[in-house]
Amino acid sequence: MLPYLRRAVDQGTVRPGEASVVERLCETAAGTVPGRPEAPARLHGDLWSGNVLWGADGQVWLIDPAAHGGHRETDLAMLRLFGCPHLERVLDGYRERAPLADGWADRVGVHQLFPLLVHAVLFGRSYAEQALAAARAALAR
């Protein structure tokens, strides 16, 4: 996250005085996994609603993966970040197959911080504000 934070500061999207909130979160979270410890899962890696196709036959197709290993809450946080049709139904189905650790919804912002910083670099200040809000909320817990 820090390289994207630096780029956002360098281009003026994040003000220098604001960067400390993300830096503090990175220091606090270093070496910890949000939620209960678990083995890395295979993540889609770019699971926003545009990469979820809903077939007329009821099938759902995931496209354009950037697959890697990571914490499984990350893909779910991405679905929430950019809006996913039927998100609660998707989450219910996910929890039915693979229950999530208590408090997972409280960690959504931590999992969204990286893509928010990337989007702040690419698309501007509104994403920087969302990233800062997510970092502040995580620190407040």
Q: Tell me which residues are annotated as active site.
A: 46
Tokens matching residue 10: 């360098």
What tokens were used for 18?
A: 């604001």
Contacts of residue 16, Cβ cutoff 8 Å, sequence gap at least 6: 9
Calculate helix-pair angle for 108-123, 2-10, nearest 10 degrees: 40
Place of tokens 């408090």: 103
